[in-house]
Amino acid sequence: MQTEEIFEQSLLFNKLMLESMGDGLFCIDKSLCCTFINTSALQILGYACEDCIGINIHNLIRGNLENAKIYPDDQCSICRTLNDITGSIVEEEVFWKSDGNPITVRYRSNPIISNCEIIGVVVVFNAISKQKRKQDDIIVKTIQESLINATDDLIWAIDKDYRLITYNRSYSKKILNLTGKHARKGDPLTLEHFEDEVLKRWESYYRKAFNGEAFMVNEYTYNPVERKIEYGLISLAPMYDANNELFGVACLSKDVTKETSNHISLIESYNELENIFNQSMDIICVIDQQGKFRKISKACEKIWGYKIDDLVDKSYFDLVHADDLNQAKKMLEDLIEGADTNNFENHIVCKNGCLVPIIWSARWDEKVKLIFCVARDVTDKKLAEEKLIESEAFLEEAQRFAKMGSWSFDFKTDKITWSRELYNIFDVDIKIPAKTHGSFINLIDEQDRQIVERASKRTQETGEPFNIQYQITTLGGEKRAIEEFGYGEKDSNGQVVRLFGTAQDITERKRAEDKIREIAWIQSHIVRAPVTRIVGLISLIRDKLIDESEVEKILEYIILSTNELDDIIRDISDKTRIAD
């Protein structure tokens, strides 16, 4: 089959389809001449095909108004379609039949487009009888009323005298709830239940609508019956009659109390979070995948010296010190990959050039592709740590000089903690600590163990402090004297939960005390003899109880006793130096 034959058959098929339509259909070109009209259209209009093809269809069926005046082209929707690709639908219009009588039709006109250019119009129409229009109107009105009354929204209309024209069931229920009376058409609006401020607002709304303006407004009122605030989205629009005269205002009120309350709660929550966000002493920020700040709290001004506007859209890496930059970039990559990067530390270069140590806590959100961070300035923490290390070093040095160590004993877990110097005092390897009270007791000489155990038990029971002395023997066989002070720590119920205290090596002090006691014995026994002789000899001379011939001999005895006393004093001096 040749192409021409296929094309001709296609045209025939399309023509048959158009001829079989129940609706009337005709086509016109740009000069308004009819190029095709189907059988239904000819039957409705009463024309023969030859009466229409090639004829100006506008002048034929649209050229006269009912008063026989010329129907302008620019008022005809069919003609206007030649310049409007959207086409048009006319629910009710007049076409003129061949017998000169008008027929009311509903029609739809659409442009015929070829190569992106309108070359004509196709019109589909059907006749409308008055009875059918009336039935259609009833159906439409019933549907409209059903739709209007099915909604919970309040719908009403008022005339220029502020009297009800119409209203829906929801509006009637609302009026009954507020006033105890049923709404009736023609009744004046009921507004006396509202405050003066509310009345003034509504009067301004109605005046605005009566001036021809359609608008929407959010409104709230206090419902005195239910004693709650209600929020509504109000729509007001002017209504016009067939002569384009404004005769009333149509109103719709949608109850948005729940949505508004949720919105207010959301705003309050947002403001509360925003307040927390900006009151935080730490810097809270949001960073994107490229490392740019998207949001940052006010703490950045105090800690880094930058204002918020200085940092938004600025790269986080621009603030990181060069020594920490590679590590910071690696942290960001690991974080996006899902790694835990809490307590990541680096140094930020402040606006004034100073370095601030920062500890970061961050979380990657895969949904929004953002990093939520908290940056804490740990300058004070670092200083405190340095001071603590320094204090611990001072304490350790002081304990070393004093040969004193500190200890803690949690007797509920039987765990003992010692300071470094205590290991030196007991000559125990710090790598092998005395883990339990029992292992500590084993370091004490056997004859003194009960002293320590009794003191510890009494303080555990009563919380009273103790002061004891005992002997230990080091691994090297050296004997050492220890003086220990212990105290009890109580919980809120007054129960002792822990012992703590100090232990001091008093071996040297003990030796000094022994020397002092030895010196005291010498003073009380050995020194007294020569002193007594000297005093006695001097008394003989003073009292002239001897002859002059014996004086020289007495002086020799005095010198001898004096020399003996000098030797004793020297010996005491030597012993004192040893004690020191």
The strand ranges marked E within 211-354 are: 215-223, 228-240, 246-255, 283-288, 293-296, 344-349
DSSP per position, 129-175: -HHHHHHHHHHHHHHHHHHHHHSSSEEEEEETTSBEEEE-HHHHHHH
pLDDT at 248: 92
Coil, strand, or helix at residue 330?
helix
The strand ranges marked E within 212-281 are: 215-223, 228-240, 246-255
Q: How far apart (Å, rounded) are the C-alpha atoms in residues 291 and 316?
A: 5
Per-residue pLDDT tens digits for 322-340: 999 999 898 888 888 887 7
| Higher-confidence position of 157 and 395 | 157
Q: How far is CA 480 from the centre of its chain?
A: 63
Q: How far apart (Å, rounded) are the C-alpha atoms in residues 159 and 319?
A: 68
| 358 contacts 378 by C-beta, under 8 angstroms | yes
DSSP per position, 376-403: EE-HHHHHHHHHHHHHHHHHHHHHHHHT
The rounded mean pLDDT for the chain is: 81
| Higher-confidence position of 506 and 521 | 506
Q: How far apart (Å, rounded) are the C-alpha atoms in residues 79 and 70?
A: 14
Query: pLDDT-based confidence at 125, cuts 50/70/90?
Result: very high
Task: Flag whether pLDDT at 290 surpasses 60.
Answer: yes
pLDDT at 476: 84
Query: pLDDT-based confidence at 309, cuts 50/70/90?
Result: very high
pLDDT at 579: 46
**What average pLDDT score do residues 7-22 get?**
58
Say if domain 135-260 classifies as CATH 3.30.360.10.
Answer: no
pLDDT at 6: 46
| Higher-confidence position of 567 and 368 | 368
Per-residue pLDDT tens digits for 243-257: 889 999 999 998 888
Task: Please report, as a single letter, which amino acid is at residue 141.
Answer: K
Query: pLDDT-based confidence at 65, cuts 50/70/90?
Result: low
pLDDT at 423: 85
Query: pLDDT-based confidence at 522, cuts 50/70/90?
Result: low
Mean pLDDT lowest for which of 62-66, 73-77, 78-82?
A: 62-66
Task: Flag whether pLDDT at 68 surpasses 60.
Answer: no
Label residue 373 exposed, middle or buried (CB < 10 Å: 0-12, 13-18, 19+).
buried
Mean pLDDT lowest for which of 102-111, 218-227, 537-546?
A: 537-546
| Higher-confidence position of 92 and 140 | 92
Q: What angle do CA 441, 444, 449 make, to 5 degrees?
A: 65
Task: Flag whether pLDDT at 140 surpasses 80.
Answer: no
Domain positions in the chain? 3-128, 135-260, 281-376, 385-505, 514-579
CA dihedral for 320, 326, 331, 337, sign (positive or negative)? positive
The closest alpha carbon to 233, from 137, 153, 335, belongs to: 153
- List phi, psi (to 5°) of 503: -135, 130
- Describe the strand order of the beta sheet including 154-159 as a list of residue ranges: 164-167, 154-159, 246-255, 228-240, 215-223
**What average pLDDT score do residues 117-137 get?**
80
Query: pLDDT-based confidence at 182, cuts 50/70/90?
Result: confident
Task: Return the H-helix or E-strand segment holding 78.
Answer: helix 77-80
Mean pLDDT lowest for which of 342-356, 521-535, 548-562?
A: 521-535
- pTM of the entire predicted model: 0.39
What CATH number was assigned to the domain covering residues 385-505? 3.30.450.20
Q: Do domains 3-128 and 385-505 have the same CATH topology?
A: yes
Coil, strand, or helix at residue 303?
helix
- List phi, psi (to 5°) of 238: -70, 150
Q: What angle do CA 48, 50, 54 make, to 5 degrees?
A: 130
pLDDT at 130: 64
The closest alpha carbon to 468, from 479, 509, 481, 478, belongs to: 481
pLDDT at 150: 77
Q: How far apart (Å, rounded) are the C-alpha atoms in residues 44 and 25?
A: 10
Per-residue pLDDT tens digits for 366-424: 888 898 889 988 888 777 777 767 766 666 676 677 788 888 888 888 888 888 888 88
Task: Flag whether pLDDT at 184 surpasses 70.
Answer: yes
**What average pLDDT score do residues 140-144 get?**
71
| Higher-confidence position of 30 and 569 | 30
Task: Flag whether pLDDT at 190 surpasses 70.
Answer: no
What CATH number was assigned to the domain covering residues 3-128? 3.30.450.20
Task: Flag whether pLDDT at 527 surpasses 70.
Answer: no
| Higher-confidence position of 576 and 393 | 393
pLDDT at 3: 45
Q: How big is the chain, counted in residues?
A: 580
Coil, strand, or helix at residue 107?
strand
**What average pLDDT score do residues 500-523 get?**
77
**What average pLDDT score do residues 47-68 get?**
80
Task: Flag whether pLDDT at 365 surpasses 60.
Answer: yes
Task: Flag whether pLDDT at 187 surpasses 50.
Answer: yes
CA atoms within 13 A on the CB side of 116: 0
The closest alpha carbon to 34, from 126, 122, 127, belongs to: 122
Mean pLDDT lowest for which of 41-50, 62-71, 459-468?
A: 62-71
pLDDT at 547: 67
| H and E: helices and strands count for the chain | 19, 20
Q: What angle do CA 455, 456, 461 make, to 5 degrees?
A: 100
- List phi, psi (to 5°) of 509: -65, -40
pLDDT at 19: 66
| 449 contacts 441 by C-beta, under 8 angstroms | yes
| 107 contacts 124 by C-beta, under 8 angstroms | yes
| 405 contacts 399 by C-beta, under 8 angstroms | yes
**What average pLDDT score do residues 206-220 get?**
90
Class of domain 281-376: alpha beta
